[in-house]
Amino acid sequence: MKVLVVGGGGREHALVWKIAQSPLVDTIYCAPGNPGTAALAENVAINVDEVDVLLEFAKAEKIDLTVVGPEQPLSMGIVDLFEEHGLKVFGPRKNAAIIEASKAFSKDLMQKYHVPTAAYGVFSEVGPAVAFIERTGTPIVVKADGLAAGKGVIIAQTREEAVAAVTDMLSGNAFGSAGSRVVIEEFLTGEEASFLAITDGTHIIPLASAQDHKAIFDNDLGPNTGGMGAYSPAPVVTPAVHENAMQQVLRRAVDGMAAEGRPYRGVLYAGLMVTGDQVKTLEFNARFGDPECQPLLMRMKSDIVPVLLAVADGDLSGVQIEWHDKAAVCVVMAAEGYPGDYRKGDAISGLDDAADLDDVYVFHAGTTLKDDRCVTNGGRVLGVTALGDTVQHAIDRAYQGVGRITWPGVQFRTDIGRKAIGRTR
Ligand code: AMP
Ligand code: GLY
């Protein structure tokens, strides 16, 4: 089989790495890919938003399966386009990817189908938004409606901060058209978990539990990022939490989407806030989480390709996914300045030394080659991911890998996985 993976981040490197292990696959292309995927696949210089060019490539190369990593091409309708041309593709269609592309849509869906979530309002005018903020009190959460790379959410501690965020977003200064509507919602407390499942629109197979680390600094301080590290399994997802997430969140959302005439096929990612056994949904994503995908795929024992094919064919019945007993931890190494404006072009040293470690794999995200050297080229640069018999063991391994790699201005959190240790062994 020939497989095309669309994307060029850590998630796509992990997908390529996992797909490359399948005996069903002869050739993998990755568009645009990165220096990490180049070791396992043939990189193709097409960007993720050039969906027509991707289609021409897939037709010309007779690609048997296309796997779409990021949200942008999904929300542009890449899946609809490929299906119209008879090509097999893994991911939700445009009318289902809206579950991530519009937070207002997603909140209204949750309300209609009784998926537990924070109380909220949707606004396109400053006046009513301010009235809502005054009624609700602070802290309060202001979210741009559209896609904002995980950065369109402001947790406002004061009325002034909340009003400033709303004004900024609605004026188009922050996040452009993604902020032309805002969702304002109640601030929830608890511990977050990333709950991902694969679905064909009817059957739902949960993936192993995972936890992300959104804030840039240790102890969850500082602004939110796309994710600074992740691990699996996440002990906060107890059997009772798992059951509630499956029944109250995934089942209701998948059935709700079907009832709306928007059958959902692909990975559905629920960002959960967990308090005791109770779960509330912070958001849905229409794709694998990044960096959650890295530890999850390192732990996946089953061949992923039959699973992806079954979803593309619309029938997951009879499919099972097995997991390694081990834990996996991914520590993201980021460029100076991230999540704000960040430096690019710094030479990365130590990649080979880190790769020498057993059970450590360095997934590339924002890297590129310059004069045959691997240099930084994005905010999140690498995801150093390790397996271990326990979460602590995997943490130690991952940080051993991190310790061998450096560049000027590198930043990473030193507490990835610590919440799991608080709960186990
Ligand atoms: P979202 O993109 O909606 O998941 O929001 C990004 C991050 O903002 C989440 O992972 C949480 O850390 C935080 N967040 C979002 N909504 C809320 C909320 N209602 N209460 C507390 N924190 C939130
Ligand atoms: N790591 C969070 C996300 O992929 O949205």
Q: Closest ligand 1 atom, CA of 185?
A: 19
Residue 370: φ, ψ to 5°: -130, 120
- Does residue 142 have its Cβ closer than 6 Å to ligand 1? no
- Look at domain 125-180 and name its CATH class: alpha beta
Q: What is the pLDDT of residue 180?
A: 80
Q: Which CATH code for domain 2-94?
A: 3.40.50.20
Q: What is the pLDDT of residue 110?
A: 98
Q: What is the pLDDT of residue 147?
A: 81
Architecture of domain 327-420: Alpha-Beta Complex (3.90)
Could you give the angle at the alpha carbon of 119 between the alpha carbons of 114 and 124, nearest 5°? Answer: 110
Measured in angstroms, how far is the CA atom of residue 224 from the centroid of ligand 1?
Answer: 9
Measured in angstroms, how far is the CA atom of residue 291 from the centroid of ligand 2?
Answer: 7
Rounded Cα distance between 297 and 17, Å, is 9
243, two tokens: 């059951």
- Does residue 417 have its Cβ closer than 6 Å to ligand 2? no
Q: What is the pLDDT of residue 425?
A: 43
Q: Closest ligand 2 atom, CA of 285?
A: 5
Distances (CA, A) of 16 to 67, 260, 286, 382: 10, 33, 19, 15
Q: Return all residues near 222 (Cβ < 8 A) that are at least 6 apart.
A: 215, 216
205, two tokens: 């197979």
- Look up the pTM and report it: 0.96
* Residue 384 exposure: Cα atoms within 13 Å on the Cβ side: 30
- The DSSP letter of residue 406 is B
Give the DSSP letter string of 255-275: HHHHHTT----EEEEEEEEEE
Q: Closest ligand 1 atom, CA of 212?
A: 10
Rounded Cα distance between 207 and 219, Å, is 26
Rounded Cα distance between 194 and 231, Å, is 10
Rounded Cα distance between 330 and 385, Å, is 4
Q: What is the pLDDT of residue 146?
A: 83
Rounded Cα distance between 70 and 9, Å, is 9
Q: Which residue's CA is the closest to the ligand 1 atom numbered 16?
A: 282
Q: Strand, helix or coil at 54?
A: helix
Q: Return all residues near 277 (Cβ < 8 A) that are at least 6 apart.
A: 238, 240, 241, 244
Q: What is the pLDDT of residue 223?
A: 87
- Contact criterion met (CB below 8 Å) for 154 and 170: no
2-94 and 125-180 share one fold: no
Q: Closest ligand 1 atom, CA of 271?
A: 4
Which H/E stretch holds residue 121? strand 120-123
Q: Closest ligand 1 atom, CA of 103?
A: 3
Measured in angstroms, how far is the CA atom of residue 153 from the centroid of ligand 1?
Answer: 7
Measured in angstroms, how far is the CA atom of residue 17 from the centroid of ligand 2?
Answer: 19
Could you give the angle at the alpha carbon of 159 between the alpha carbons of 158 and 161, nearest 5°? Answer: 65
- Does residue 185 have its Cβ closer than 6 Å to ligand 1? yes
In tens digits, the chain (425 residues) has pLDDT values of 999 999 999 999 999 999 999 999 999 999 999 999 999 999 999 999 999 999 999 999 999 999 999 999 999 999 999 999 999 999 999 999 999 999 999 999 999 999 999 999 999 999 999 999 999 999 999 998 888 766 688 999 999 999 999 998 888 767 777 668 899 999 999 999 999 999 999 999 999 999 999 999 999 999 889 999 999 999 999 999 999 999 999 999 999 999 999 999 999 999 999 999 999 999 999 999 999 999 999 999 999 999 999 999 999 999 999 999 999 999 999 999 999 999 999 999 999 999 999 999 999 999 999 999 999 999 999 999 999 999 999 999 999 999 999 999 999 999 999 999 977 64
**Every domain of the chain and the residues it spans:** 2-94, 125-180, 191-313, 327-420
- Does residue 212 have its Cβ closer than 6 Å to ligand 2? yes
Report, in this order, helix, strand and coil percent for the chain, each rounded to 5: 35, 30, 40
- Does residue 292 have its Cβ closer than 6 Å to ligand 1? no
Give the DSSP letter string of 327-392: EEEEEEEE-TTTTSS----PBPB-HHHHHTSTTEEEEESSEEEETTEEEE-SSEEEEEEEEESSHH
Which H/E stretch holds residue 11? helix 10-19
- Does residue 244 have its Cβ closer than 6 Å to ligand 2? no
Measured in angstroms, how far is the CA atom of residue 353 from the centroid of ligand 1?
Answer: 37
**Residue with the two structure tokens 């007993």:** 325
Q: Strand, helix or coil at 279?
A: strand
Q: Which residue's CA is the closest to the ligand 2 atom numbered 4?
A: 289
Query: To test ligand 1's pocket by mutation, which of 141, 154, 212, 281 has the most ligand atoms within 8 angstroms of CB?
Result: 141
- Look at domain 191-313 and name its CATH class: alpha beta
- Pick the ligand that lies closest to the CA of residue 227: 2
Rounded Cα distance between 141 and 184, Å, is 6
- Tell me the pairing of strands 380-388 and 360-364: antiparallel
- Does residue 183 have its Cβ closer than 6 Å to ligand 1? no
* β-bridge partners, 403: none
Query: To test ligand 2's pocket by mutation, which of 212, 228, 231, 232 has the most ligand atoms within 8 angstroms of CB?
Result: 212
Long-range contacts of 367-370 (CB under 8 A, 24+ apart): 367/34, 367/35, 367/36, 368/34, 368/35, 369/35, 370/345
Measured in angstroms, how far is the CA atom of residue 284 from the centroid of ligand 1?
Answer: 11
- Does residue 10 have its Cβ closer than 6 Å to ligand 2? no
63, two tokens: 């690609």
